[in-house]
């Protein structure tokens, strides 16, 4: 894991909010780590500047237990899009993650170019 001090850390929780899983999430100032497994451990890492979009979803049962899932669209080749599933205080975590992503993108001068297209049918007469 990074030498940076963790800003946030939590476990994926089961439906009733108990942390009885072996998936942990750790957020540092420049990376997000997702570690899974019991005997054999697997750790994924995504640099924050590679995260393009963040959304939050909370099902009815998640809202009852104070949980939520953050969906991240990422430009990272190995991770792609991923979810931070069933975490406590999801709105606060999403906002903190969003702030850190913006900070890293500005610090590294990374821009996201969006191409807007308008699909129209052209007849030969229009040209």
Could you read off the pLDDT of 67-92 as tens digits, one per residue?
999 999 999 999 999 999 999 999 99
Confidence at residue 111, expressed as pLDDT on a 0 to 100 scale? 80
Q: Please, is 83 exposed, middle or buried when counting C-beta atoms within 10 Å of its C-beta (0-12, 13-18, 19+)? A: middle
Residue 31: DSSP 8-state: E
Confidence at residue 70, expressed as pLDDT on a 0 to 100 scale? 98
Confidence of residue 125 (pLDDT cuts 50, 70, 90): low
Q: Which fold has domain 8-109?
A: PH-domain like (2.30.29)
| Residue 29 predicted with pLDDT over 60 | yes
| Residue 115 predicted with pLDDT over 70 | no
Comparison of pLDDT for 79 and 93, the residue scoring more = 93
Confidence at residue 124, expressed as pLDDT on a 0 to 100 scale? 53
Question: What pTM does this model have?
Answer: 0.83
């Amino acid at each position: 894991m990074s030498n940076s001090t963790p800003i946030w850390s939590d476990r994926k929780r089961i439906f009733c909010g108990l942390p009885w899983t072996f998936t942990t999430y750790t957020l540092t100032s420049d990376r997000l780590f997702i570690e899974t497994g019991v005997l054999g451990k697997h750790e994924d890492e995504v640099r924050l500047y590679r995260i393009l979009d963040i959304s939050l979803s909370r099902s009815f049962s998640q809202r009852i237990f104070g949980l939520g899932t953050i969906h991240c669209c990422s430009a990272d080749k190995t991770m792609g899009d991923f979810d931070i599933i069933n975490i406590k205080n999801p709105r606060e975590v999403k906002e903190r993650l969003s702030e850190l992503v913006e900070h890293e993108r500005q610090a590294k001068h990374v821009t996201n170019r969006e191409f807007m297209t308008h699909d129209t049918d052209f007849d030969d007469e229009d040209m």
